Chain A
Amino acid sequence: MKRSTRIQMFLIENLIWVLVAAFFLINAAVTPRFASYANVVNILYHSAIMSMLVLGQGLVLINGKLDLSIESTLGFAPGIAMLLAMQQFPEIVGPVTAIAITLIVGGMLGWFNGFCIAKLKINPLLQTLATMIMIRGILLFIFPFSLFPLDPLYRYAGAGRLPGNIPVSIPLILVIFFILNLVLQYTPFGRRFVAAGGDARASHVSGINVDRMTIYAFVLAGVLAAVAGLLAAGRQGSISNSMGEGMVLLSFAGALMGGASLQGGKGTPLGMLGGALLLGMFSNSLNLLGVGPSLIYASKGALIFVALLLDRGRIRWRGYLLHKEQLEALEHRS
Chain B
Amino acid sequence: MWPLGVFGIIPRVSNAKEPILTLRGLSKLYPGTVALQDVDLEVERGETHGIIGKNGAGKTTLVGIVAGLVQPSAGSVQINGHDYSRLTRIGARKAGVAIVPQEPQLVQQATVAENLFLPDYLRRGYGLLVDWQTMHRRANEILRRGRLHLDPRTRAGDLGIGLQQILLMLKAAYVEQAEIIILDEAFASLSEREEGLFYELIRERKAAGCTILHISHRIDELLEVCDRMTVLRDGRSIGTVRRAEVDKDSLAGLIVGEESELRPGAPGRPGTAIGPAAAGSPAGGPHSADAPVERPPVLELRGLTRAERFSEISFSVAENEVLGLAGLIGSGRSSILRAIFGLEPLDAGEIRLNGKPVRLDRPAVALRHGVVYLPEERDDEGLITTLSVKTNLLLSALRRVSGRVFIDRARERELARELAKQLALHFASFDQEVSELSGGNRQKVVVGKVLSTEPQVFLLDEPTKGIDIAAKAGILRIIREGLRANSAVVVTSPGLDDLIEICDRIVVVHDGRILGSFQAHEFQEERLYKAIQGKMMQPIR
Which residues of A pack against B, CB within 8 Å? Answer: 1, 182, 186-188, 191-192, 194-195, 198-199, 201-209, 263-266, 322, 325
Contacts and interface: CB of A to CB of B under 8 A. Distances in A.
B391 A206 contact: no
Given A194-B387, A266-B386, A205 B395 contact: no
Contacts of A265: 384, 386-387
Given A187-B406, A325-B428, A206 B386 contact: no
Contacts of A188: 398-399, 402, 407
Contact of A199 (B383, B436, B449): B383
B384 to A, nearest CB: 4
Contacts of B224: none
Interface string B415-454: 0000000000000110000001000000000000100000
Q: Which of A186, A192, A195, A205 has the most CB of B within 10 A?
A: A205
B398 A205 contact: no
A194 B433 CA distance: 14
A199 B407 contact: no
Given A198-B387, A199-B383, A325-B428, A205 B402 contact: no
Contacts of A208: 364, 395
A206 B402 contact: no
Contact of B398 (A192, A263, A264): A192
B235 interface: no
B363 A204 contact: yes
B234 to A, nearest CB: 21
Interface of B: 341, 343, 362-364, 366-368, 373, 375, 380-387, 391, 395-396, 398-399, 402, 405-407, 409, 428-429, 436, 449
B428 A206 contact: no
A325 B427 CA distance: 12
A1 B381 CA distance: 29
B395 A322 contact: no
Given A205-B375, A207-B363, A207-B364, A191 B395 contact: yes
Contacts of A187: 402, 405-407
Contacts of B368: 207
B405 A1 contact: no
A267 B354 CA distance: 43
Contact of B436 (A204, A263, A322): A322
B391 A191 contact: yes
Contact of A201 (B381, B391, B402): B381
Given A202-B381, A207-B396, A186 B387 contact: no
A201 B398 contact: no
Contact of A203 (B362, B367, B384, B436): B384
A266 B380 CA distance: 17
Given A188-B398, A206-B395, A207-B364, A198 B386 contact: yes
A188 B449 CA distance: 15
Contacts of B395: 191-192, 195, 203, 206, 208
B409 A186 contact: yes
A187 B401 CA distance: 10
A202 B380 contact: yes
B396 A199 contact: no
B30 to A, nearest CB: 14
Given A182-B406, A199-B385, A206-B363, 8 more contacts: A187-B405, A192-B398, A198-B385, A199-B384, A205-B382, A206-B395, A207-B366, A322-B436
Contact of A202 (B384, B399, B436): B384
Given A186-B409, A187-B406, A209 B364 contact: yes
B388 to A, nearest CB: 10
Nearest to A261: B386
A195 B368 CA distance: 19
Contacts of B428: 1, 325
A202 B381 CA distance: 4
A304 to B, nearest CB: 22
A202 B391 CA distance: 13
A1 B427 CA distance: 10
7 contacts: A186-B406, A192-B395, A194-B391, A195-B387, A204-B362, A205-B341, A209-B364
A182 B386 CA distance: 19
Contacts of A1: 428-429
B243 to A, nearest CB: 43
Contacts of B391: 191, 194-195
Nearest to A266: B386
A186 B410 CA distance: 12
Contacts of A205: 341, 343, 363, 373, 375, 381-382
A208 B453 CA distance: 13
Contacts of B382: 202, 205
Given A191-B407, A195-B391, A206 B396 contact: yes
Nearest to B373: A205
Q: Which of A186, A201, A206, A322 has the most CB of B within 10 A?
A: A206
Contacts of B406: 182, 186-187
A56 B463 CA distance: 39
Contacts of B409: 186
A199 B406 CA distance: 23
B265 to A, nearest CB: 32
Contacts of A202: 375, 380-384
Contacts of B384: 195, 198-199, 202-203, 206, 265
A61 to B, nearest CB: 13
Contacts of A207: 363-364, 366-368, 396
Pick the 5 closest A-B CB pairs, nearest first: A188-B398, A207-B367, A265-B386, A198-B384, A207-B364
A284 B396 CA distance: 46
A325 B432 CA distance: 13
Contacts of A182: 406
Contacts of B449: 206
A201 B395 CA distance: 14
Nearest to A13: B431
Given A1-B429, A186-B409, A206-B396, A199 B363 contact: no
A15 B436 CA distance: 20
Nearest to A5: B428
B461 to A, nearest CB: 10
Contacts of A325: 428
A208 B384 CA distance: 12
Contacts of B387: 194-195, 198, 265
A241 B122 CA distance: 56
A187 B382 CA distance: 21
Contacts of B343: 204-205
A201 B379 CA distance: 10
A191 B395 CA distance: 7
A191 B363 contact: no
Contacts of B381: 201-202, 205
Contacts of B380: 199, 201-202
Q: Which of A182, A199, A264 has the most CB of B within 10 A?
A: A199
Q: Which of B362, B409, B428, B429 has the most CB of A within 10 A?
A: B428
A149 to B, nearest CB: 41
Nearest to A195: B384
B238 to A, nearest CB: 28
B382 to A, nearest CB: 6
Nearest to B435: A322
A270 B343 CA distance: 36
A260 B404 CA distance: 29
B484 to A, nearest CB: 22
Contacts of B398: 188, 191-192
A190 to B, nearest CB: 8
A194 B384 CA distance: 9
Contacts of A203: 384, 395
A197 to B, nearest CB: 9
B338 to A, nearest CB: 9
A192 B364 CA distance: 12
A132 to B, nearest CB: 28
A79 B396 CA distance: 43
